[in-house]
Every structure is written in C-alpha cells, then in structure tokens.
A and B are shown apart, each in its own frame.
With several copies, the nearest count.
Chain A
C-alpha cells in the first residue's frame, strides 16, 4: 500500500510538473506588461511556497516527533534531514527564479524586500543545519542535535518573519511588489497557478521520499554490514 503510493507519487508529480510547464509555456497568454516573463509565475511562487512552508514545517514537525520520547525513531530524523536537504534546493531555486524575474521587473537582481530578505535568512539557517549535520558524531547524538537545531530554527521563523516585515515597511524602499499581476490573471492562468502549487508540493514530497529511501537503503545495508562488522570485530581478538 505504502509502496504503491510511493511508486505512484513519482510519475504523478513529474507528470503534473510537465503539464504545468506546458500550460505555462504554451497555453496561457503572455502578460500585457511583462510579456513572456510572467510565465515565471507558474514556477516561482510554488517553489517559494514549498521551500518556506512545506519544507520548514516538515522539518519542524519531524524534529518534534523525534524529540518526543514516545515517538522517537530514526525515521523522523532521516525525514527531517531529507526535508531540509530538498528544502535547500527549493530555496535556492526560489532565490534564483526570483532574481531572474527581478532583473527585468525591478531592474535589479536583488532588493531588500521583506520576503526576499527573510527567504535569504532562512536559507542560511538551512545551511547551518546541514553544516551541523556534517559534523562527525554518533548517529543518535547527531539526530538529537539536529532535531533541536531544526526546532529552534523553526521557532525563529515567525519572529524573523515579523521583524523583517516591520523592518522593511518602516523604512519603505523602492520596491515594486507584484500587485500589478493580480488584475491580469484570467481563468486558465489561475488554474495553472493552482496546478503549479499542487505539482511542486507533490514533487517535493516525492524527492524527500526518494532521498529518505536512499538513506534507509544505506541503513539497510548497514544492518547487513553490522553483522559482518560484529564478526570482524570479534575476530580482532583472535591471536594472529
């Protein structure tokens, strides 16, 4: 059951993303002001949504489940790690697509808009988590450290969010937010937009599961390895 679901998830996610791209690139009309650039709207917001909300929430919840003694299991540790790893990819893609979009619309690659700034900050937090994960340690030790780190970071997200929003609005810079897009959206565009959110969320989940499976595969091999390792270790004592 779980297996078939996972098997299905991959093709479905990929197909939906493909459909989204086709609709976005060829079917929907170009924007009056932005021309073909508007097609980024079918990628970028969905990427951002996945990176910031889905990935962070998943990492936070899995970490919490890990820390809770009753539900503690390495599964959650691995899931959290996979979520962050894939989340970093999505965050970077958000920054890249955003910058590509920003260059023609705002005339600059980057502006100190609240959303952009908090995205960048959260990206660095993700990187910190990965740096911590690379520190050599016992798997359980690492799992606990990383779970705590993810939880602290997750708690910080709303605080960062509000402080950055206030920070920006108090000192209004020359930002053109995307309000000029809203009126131009017509039916098909709205559906494509909605589709993009669903498609990228599914894609994310699928990638996380694949990443998770690779790690568990390692782990499964480890079980077999462990038996060998135990045997080899016991032999060390035998007089040479």
Chain B
C-alpha cells in the first residue's frame, strides 16, 4: 500500500523566505507522528503544507494518493486541521458552527452534539456565540469538529495548548481512536512528556527541515493495524 503521507525534499516559500527547506517524510495510514522543534522551526508550515493550504515550491508531495501540486483540492477534503486559531464563526454558537461545518463536509450533522458533549461543550456553553467563549473552550469546539468529522488525516497544531487537565487526556484518547480507525495523525508539540507517548514516530524539526526521526512511545498495538 502506498504511504498515507509522502514528502520528499519539500520546499515551501512564504514571500521569499523558505519556511520549509527540504522536508522528507513518510507515514503510513494509522500512524501517529509527533513533530517537535524550536519556535520557528517550521512545524506549523509543515502542517499547512500537508493540509494543501500552501503551494509546494519544489520537491514532491503525495497525501492519501493525491499529488500536492495539482490535486490539493482533493487533499483538503480529506484532511482535518486544528490550527493555532480554530477558524469557526464567532457569531454562531458551537452547535450552529458544527452543524454548518459538518453539513459542508457532507457528514451527518447529527454527530455534532455528541462530539461537543464529549469534548466538554454542553449546556449554556454550547448555546453561547463562539466569540464569547474562553480560549480553551474554543479549542474544544475545534476538537469536537474533528471528532465528529473523522477525517483521514488529522493535523493538530499544539493540540494540548489551552486545554485543561481533563481535556488534555481526551486529546490522547481521540488520537488513539483515530489511529486505530485507520486515520493518520500529525501533531506538533512543545510538551514531549505528553506528546511522545502517543506517537509512533517522533520527528524533530529545526530550520525548516526534519533533523531527526525517532520512534515514539505508542504501544505496538497501534502499529499492527497500520
């Protein structure tokens, strides 16, 4: 089977600055990759490339059988991303946001309330416009969207940031569930203590390239499925 994610010598420019300077990466379906690295190493840029949101300047990229250079649209449909900013509508409530997003993604919107509930958004909070929610609550809604949508490639940019202790554990559970279900997960992190245990592979980035790849702490059970 072809790998779920394949990058070779991928270069991405922002303006004239190469945010990615030749990344090689290969992941199978069902694997969990955690990306570490100093600030400005290019982790967010890598996720955005994998999501098909920025064009590849040179090098090669294939995500879930689609080429990144000319089939980015197909890539995007199958990818779910939780960025530094969740990107939902401030004027709509979490419920309405999920309803819209799930219908747009052609997923049964019935899964929305359950997912919100699971991520700890219920009652009053689920009825408050997103703009009024706290930082952590917004991220929870973003997580709930992923959880209800179940994309084939999960891209999580510092998924633990802003979440409280209870929800942090949930992130681990959701990632494990997704990987067991055959999805590929790429997460960045600045907290190796919590992130490495959930990874099959740990990549360390610096200066726009991957400088080291080691194996993570995920129990073998995960590997078997992949």
Binding site for B on A (CB under 8 A): 69, 136, 138-140, 222, 225-226, 229-230, 232-238
Contacts and interface: CB of A to CB of B under 8 A. Distances in A.
B17 A138 contact: no
B18 A236 contact: no
Interface string B174-214: 00000000000000000000000000000001111101000
Chain B CB within 10 Å, residue with most, of A222, A233, A234, A235: A233
A138 B13 contact: yes
B18 A226 contact: yes
Given A229-B17, A230-B22, A233-B17, A138 B206 contact: no
B21 A230 contact: yes
B11 A138 contact: no
Contacts of A138: 13-15, 54-55
Nearest to B54: A138
Contacts of B11: 230
B168 interface: no
Contact of A136 (B15, B21, B124, B211): B15
A187 to B, nearest CB: 57
B18 A233 contact: yes
B14 A237 contact: no
A83 to B, nearest CB: 24
A230 B40 CA distance: 14
A138 B13 CA distance: 8
A237 B54 contact: no
B38 interface: yes
Contacts, number: 51
A233 B15 contact: no
B16 A233 contact: no
Contacts of A233: 17-19, 21, 207-208
Nearest to B38: A237
A225 B13 CA distance: 12
Contacts of A139: 13
The prevalent SS among residues of A at the interface is helix
B170 interface: no
Contacts of A69: 70
Contacts of B15: 136, 138
18 contacts: A138-B13, A138-B55, A140-B55, A226-B13, A229-B16, A230-B21, A233-B19, A233-B21, A234-B21, A234-B207, A234-B208, A234-B209, A235-B207, A236-B41, A237-B38, A237-B205, A237-B207, A238-B207
B121 to A, nearest CB: 13
A202 B58 CA distance: 37
A139 B57 CA distance: 11
A16 to B, nearest CB: 39
A92 B189 CA distance: 55
Contact of A237 (B16, B70, B206): B206
B208 A236 contact: yes
B206 A236 contact: yes
Contacts of B16: 222, 225-226, 229
A133 to B, nearest CB: 15
B211 A229 contact: no
Nearest to B22: A230
A72 to B, nearest CB: 10
Nearest to B19: A233
A73 to B, nearest CB: 14
B41 A237 contact: yes
Nearest to B11: A230
Interface string B1-18: 000000000010111111
Contacts of B209: 234, 237
Nearest 5 CB-CB pairings of A with B: A237-B206, A237-B207, A236-B207, A233-B21, A233-B208
A225 B15 CA distance: 13
Given A233-B17, A237-B38, 12 more contacts: A69-B70, A136-B15, A139-B13, A226-B18, A229-B17, A230-B18, A230-B22, A234-B22, A236-B207, A237-B205, A237-B211, A238-B206
